Every structure is written in C-alpha cells, then in structure tokens.
Amino acid sequence: MEHETFQSSDLAGAKRTQFIHAARSGRARLRDKDGMTLIMLPERDLNVLDQFAHWSQVQQRIAVMATRAAPASVAELGDLAWLRVFDSEDLHTLADELHGALIAGLADQDTDVIVELVSDWRMTARQLEDPLRKAVLLDHFRESDFEDAQAPE
C-alpha cells in the first residue's frame, strides 16, 4: 500500500488539508527535515494495533506454558495468574483459540472477538476456583447419580 509522502513544510501550507485527509483515510507519511519519517493515523487504528501486539504476546506466552511439564508459578504467570486453574491441555486449547481470534480480529480490524474470548476464559477460571463448581463442571457422573423428577401436581 503506497502512501503519499508529505514534507514538514507542507503542514504550514495548502497541503496540510491533504495531509489531514490522508491521515483520516488511513495513514499519512511525513518526512521531517532530517529525513526521519513519521506516520499519522487515526487513534482508533493505533489502539487496535496496540491491542493486537499485546494479545499476540499473551498468546505466545500461553502457548509456551502449555508445553511445559510443570505448571507455571503464580509469580511466573504475573498478570496471567488467573490461568493457574487450567492444566496444560486447557492452556493449549486457549492458545489455539486465541490464535484463531487474533487472525479473525486482524481480518476485521476489530479486537472484540479477542476481548470476548478472554472474558469467557476468565469467567471459566473463576468458576473453577470454587471446589463445588469445579466438581459440577469437571467430575464424571454416573446415571445412578441422577433420578427422575416427578411432574408437579
């Protein structure tokens, strides 16, 4: 994708409107007097790029944790300490799902699918911290554990 390059002197002249329009449309390249190139883009686009950088790093950390024999300590997990309730198989699944969400989100230029996925996994982590809820979610049940309910009168 080729973008027009503006000179810093253009910002003082009539081309400043073109520069702003180019920035609003995606990106505007500005070459300073010393040859340094600067890019101006909508703040929303920069925020999306920042989020993709963050979640890509998180996905890589989770993928590495999923391959380790021993679980990571809470100190090693740091801001991902909420993952401590998951085993390596769960972490592998999360890494795969997050990878897919990153691809979909990048295609859409929207991080909502990533935020929703992480929110769902965090909610599951909170449920697994409670022993009773964990038992209900993960224990194996036999048919004899259940009985038919009677119809209300």
Which pLDDT tens digit goes with each residue over 137-148? 666 777 777 788
SS3 70: coil
Q: Range of 18's domain?
A: 5-41
Task: Kindly give the residue spans of alpha helices, DSSP state H, lying in the chain.
Answer: 16-24, 43-67, 74-77, 88-108, 112-129, 131-138
Residue 86 and residue 35 in one domain: no
Residue 28 and residue 74 in one domain: no
Which pLDDT tens digit goes with each residue over 75-125? 889 999 999 999 999 999 999 999 999 999 999 989 999 999 999 999 999
* In-domain check, residue 57: yes
Residue 126 and residue 55 in one domain: yes
Residue 36 and residue 49 in one domain: no
Predicted model pTM? 0.73
Rounded to 10 degrees, the C-alpha dihedral 120/76/67/87 comes to: -50
- When divided into structural domains, the chain yields a total of 2
Residue whose pair of structure tokens reads 């990106």 in the numeric block: 27
* In-domain check, residue 63: yes
Residue 21 and residue 83 in one domain: no
Which pLDDT tens digit goes with each residue over 25-38? 888 888 888 889 88
Residue 84 and residue 132 in one domain: yes
Calculate ∠ Cα 15-16-18, nearest 5°: 65
Q: In angstroms, rounded to a whole number, what is the distance separating the alpha carbons of residues 52 and 84?
A: 23
